[in-house]
């Protein structure tokens, strides 16, 4: 055996088979818990989650849990990403806003389902990191910016759907105002940072919004003027 062959063998035996793990994530974590939307399952089967976690946690990329990312933040549990996105009832022509880009994983999943994703992240370091992940994966229909996502993105509004990936004390008014009629917003809301109810809000007309409670969740705090402020 020559050197390159032995190297290849060593790499192959120590590298986890991510494609296989991704397949198991779909069946064991998502379908078993009743995620059925084919576009969500296909997107989660396509995006390499291992590219969105830090090197240290790469082996755990497909574990059934959130994982740490820089700035004390987390990449959400795969099931929660799927559940939130499924509840948005997305269609291919939709334009979607995400608040709380983090690693960029949820935005990457969204980018496979809809025409364009706008995503806002508080920490400049995470904006850079997520942008790197989008480039590595060849994703071109995502626009990212640094800022306070509780104010939405007025220049690009209205949105067909809005996904908030961090938990705030209330539903930010600017986000409701930036939804189309018939559009949906999903957001974790709770009076303690770190424990929330997942709310789905549907805009019925100019002034009426219907709220649904999708269950208890635990997200990192939503910062910003309509969140827990700057120091959360
Ligand atoms: N969707 C992400 C989850 C990241 S955790 C993923 O798939 O990895 C939530 C993120 O929300 C954190 O990165 C945090 O910095 C960010 N965040 C918190 N408050 C914010 C705000 N007001 N505006 C934009 N981003 C915010």
| 47-85 residue pLDDT tens | 999 999 999 999 999 999 999 999 999 999 999 999 999
What is the predicted pLDDT for the residue at 144? 98
pLDDT at 4 > cutoff 60: no
The CATH classification number of 3-217 equals: 3.40.50.150
Q: Which of 51, 165, 167, 194 to mutate to test the pocket of ligand 1 (most atoms within 8 A of CB)?
A: 165
What is the average per-residue pLDDT within 205-213? 97
What is the predicted pLDDT for the residue at 193? 81
The model's pTM is 0.93
Ligand 1: distance of its center to the CA of 102 in Å? 5
Candidate list 4, 65, 76, 165, residue with the active-site label: 76
What is the predicted pLDDT for the residue at 82? 98
**In the structure, which protein residues have their CB atom closer than 6 angstroms to any atom of ligand 1?**
73-76, 99-100, 102-103, 105-106, 120-123, 126, 148-150, 165-166, 220, 222-224, 227
3-state secondary structure the chain: CCHHHHHHHHHHHHCCCHHHHHHHHHHHHHHHHCCCCHHHHHHHHHCCHHHCCCHHHHHHCCCCCCEEECCCEEECCHHHHHHHHHCCCCCCCCEEEEECCCCCHHHHHHHHHCCEEEEEECCHHHHHHHHHHHHHCCCCCEEEEECCHHHCCCCCCCEEEEEECCEECCCCHHHHHCEEEEEEEEEEEEEECCEEEEEEEEECCCCCEEEEEEEEECCCECCECCCCECCC
Confidence class for position 7, pLDDT limits 50, 70, 90: low
């Amino acid at each position: 055996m020559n050197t390159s062959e032995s190297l290849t063998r060593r790499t192959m035996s120590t590298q986890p088979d991510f494609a296989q793990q991704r397949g198991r994530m779909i069946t064991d974590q998502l379908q078993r818990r009743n995620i059925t939307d084919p576009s969500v399952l296909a997107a989660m089967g396509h995006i390499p989650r291992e590219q969105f976690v830090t090197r240290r946690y790469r082996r755990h990329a497909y574990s059934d849990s959130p994982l740490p990312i820089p700035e004390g933040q987390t990449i959400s549990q795969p099931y929660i990403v799927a559940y939130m996105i499924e509840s948005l009832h997305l269609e291919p022509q939709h334009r979607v806003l995400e608040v709380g880009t983090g690693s960029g994983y949820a935005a990457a999943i969204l980018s496979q389902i809809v025409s364009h994703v706008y995503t806002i992240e508080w920490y400049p370091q995470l904006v850079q990191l997520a942008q790197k992940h989008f480039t590595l994966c060849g994703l071109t229909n995502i626009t990212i910016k640094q800022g306070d996502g509780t104010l939405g993105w007025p220049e690009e509004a209205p949105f067909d759907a809005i996904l908030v990936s961090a938990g705030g004390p209330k539903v930010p008014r600017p986000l409701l105002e930036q939804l189309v009629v018939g559009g949906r917003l999903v957001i974790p809301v709770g009076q303690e940072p770190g424990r929330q109810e997942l709310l789905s809000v549907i805009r019925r007309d100019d002034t009426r919004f219907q709220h649904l409670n999708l269950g208890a969740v635990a997200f990192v705090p939503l910062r910003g003027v309509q969140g827990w402020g700057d120091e959360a």
